[in-house]
Amino acid sequence: MTTEPLPEFPAGFRWGVATSAYQIEGATTAAGRGPSIWDTFAHTPGLVADGSTGDVACDHWHRPGEDVALMAGLGVSAYRFSVAWPRVQPGGTGPANAAGLDFYDRLVDNLAAAGVDPVATLYHWDLPQPLEDAGGWLNRDTAARFAEYADLVAARLGDRVKLWITLNEPFVQMSLGYGTGQHAPGRTLLFGAFPVAHHQLLGHGLAVAALRARTASPVAITNNYSPVRVAGGTDADRAAADAYDALHNRLFTDPLLGLGYPDVPGADAGAVRDGDLAVIAAPIDVLGVNYYNPTGVRAADADSPLPFDLVELSGYPRTAFDWPVVPEGLRELLTGLRDRYGDRLPPIQVTESGCAYDDAPDVDGRVHDPERITYLDGHLRAVRAAIDDGVDVTGYFVWSLLDNWEWAEGFTKRFGLVHVDFATGARTPKSSYAWFRDAVTRPARPATPSAE
């Protein structure tokens, strides 16, 4: 673990922590909430590693005050949370469920009182099950329903939310949810999932318009990015890497920034109608960037259904998820976005960055996680280096505030700055919590050194 002080960050830099509704809230039938695709998926035997569900999760529904107090003690300036669509519209359509919105209304008030900016994500994968029954994101109508939902939430919270994020990681929803079936709703369409990409982006564009009509707060989308490393020296390997880069990194960014869709092998663009690309390219104020690791890619075997094979990157420390820890990949990603999109690129906020380790209390009840401190230290240095390279990065959110229910991995992976005893709900700040508190409360300096 490094002892060298962190470099200072620009004045006004947004320091935050992040969570999502299904991963922490629990209370999946409280206050009129309807079922989501993740309720259905988690309750299907054999789909979640430990057989658990999000029915209780971290019990945040009953403990929001305690969790806001943890944020206040951490000294962060922002909290990125998600609103559960099934709480607002249990069936995915119709008027707002006021009892569900009441929870988020109180949450944003409590955050404001604690000096923490509310950053609201409208969709973090918990699609109302009735919409999935009608086709889910394969159905163009879901995009329109999403815009209506965005309008309902903004009508209630738009005067206090400081940054709106429409979608979280639409690539992951498309690829794991509809492409390979590892996530809800568990469909296995491979490249037949392309309409999911388009309808999510169309929903984003329609939601941007709905938000602009209700609030003056900035609007963003959060994408997951992974720098691609070519694993091999052949032209076929390089072509495979280009194909994966187009699918993972460009499919959800090129059209947002007015460049249309890249060429993705196997994708059928028949879902795209006249005027859709203009809706999708509605200007955004911030691009949210989620980064965990680069991806190694080589040419696929002849019998592969995909045009690339993914290859494990060796020579790096690894997390409990077996992901390589590559801080320089974040700098590479940020400068690469700047180089690729130039003046089209809005300011960036790193809306997720974090790591899973097998943290547990010691005999004194304390939780020491030096590997997470090393991880955060390296990634914050990478962000500062990108800023020094001229990239307009204005914020960094740690994933996650709390250990949570980690999707198909259930309770087996811990990402939090705060340890959660999933049997009792007890919260214990880890040593990384104290480290990050010290990092965010250091004095800032200008982004560009003075010429004097």
Per-residue pLDDT of 83-122, as tens digits, reads 999 999 999 999 999 999 999 999 999 999 999 999 999 9
Query: Active site residue: 169, 328, 371, 452, which one?
Result: 169
pLDDT at residue 390, as a whole number: 98
pLDDT tier, 267 (very low <50, low <70, confident <90, very high otherwise): confident
Residue 432 lies in a domain: yes
Query: Active site residue: 25, 132, 312, 352, which one?
Result: 352
Mean pLDDT of 7-20: 96
Position 41 pLDDT exceeds 70: yes
In the structure, how many helices (H) and strands (E) does the chain have? 14, 13
* Range of the structural domain that residue 408 is part of: 14-440
pLDDT at residue 244, as a whole number: 97
Active-site annotation holds for 8: no
Q: Contact, 6 vs 379, CB < 8 A?
A: no
Q: Contact, 386 vs 161, CB < 8 A?
A: no
Write the CB contacts of 399 (distance below 8 Å, at least 6 apart in sequence): 17, 18, 290, 352, 353, 354, 415
pLDDT for 164-213, tens place per residue? 999 999 999 999 999 999 999 999 999 999 999 999 999 999 999 999 99
To the nearest 10 degrees (0 to 180), the angle between helices 370-388 and 431-440 is 20
pLDDT at residue 269, as a whole number: 85
pLDDT for 389-411, tens place per residue? 999 999 999 999 999 999 999 99
Number of residues in the chain:
452
pLDDT for 55-68, tens place per residue? 999 999 999 999 99
Residue 451 lies in a domain: no
pLDDT at residue 227, as a whole number: 98
Position 385 pLDDT exceeds 60: yes
Q: State what percent of residues in the chain have pLDDT above 70.
A: 97
DSSP for 352-395, please give it.
E----------TTS----HHHHHHHHHHHHHHHHHHHTT--EEE
Residue 9 lies in a domain: no
Mean pLDDT of the chain: 96
Position 448 pLDDT exceeds 80: no
pTM: 0.96
Residue 448 lies in a domain: no
Q: State what percent of residues in the chain have pLDDT above 90.
A: 94
pLDDT at residue 3, as a whole number: 65
Active-site annotation holds for 332: no
Domain count, the chain: 1
Rounded Cα–Cα distance for residues 112 and 114 (Å)? 5
Mean pLDDT of 246-269: 95
Phi, psi of 96 (to 5 degrees): -70, 145
Residue 51 lies in a domain: yes
pLDDT for 73-94, tens place per residue? 999 999 999 999 999 999 999 9
pLDDT at residue 445, as a whole number: 45
pLDDT at residue 329, as a whole number: 98
CATH of the domain at 167: 3.20.20.80
Mean pLDDT of 222-247: 97
Residue with tokens 């109180």: 106
Residue 452 lies in a domain: no
pLDDT tier, 265 (very low <50, low <70, confident <90, very high otherwise): confident
pLDDT tier, 449 (very low <50, low <70, confident <90, very high otherwise): very low
pLDDT for 269-317, tens place per residue? 899 999 999 999 999 999 999 999 999 999 999 889 999 999 999 999 9
pLDDT for 340-378, tens place per residue? 999 999 999 999 999 999 999 999 999 999 999 999 999
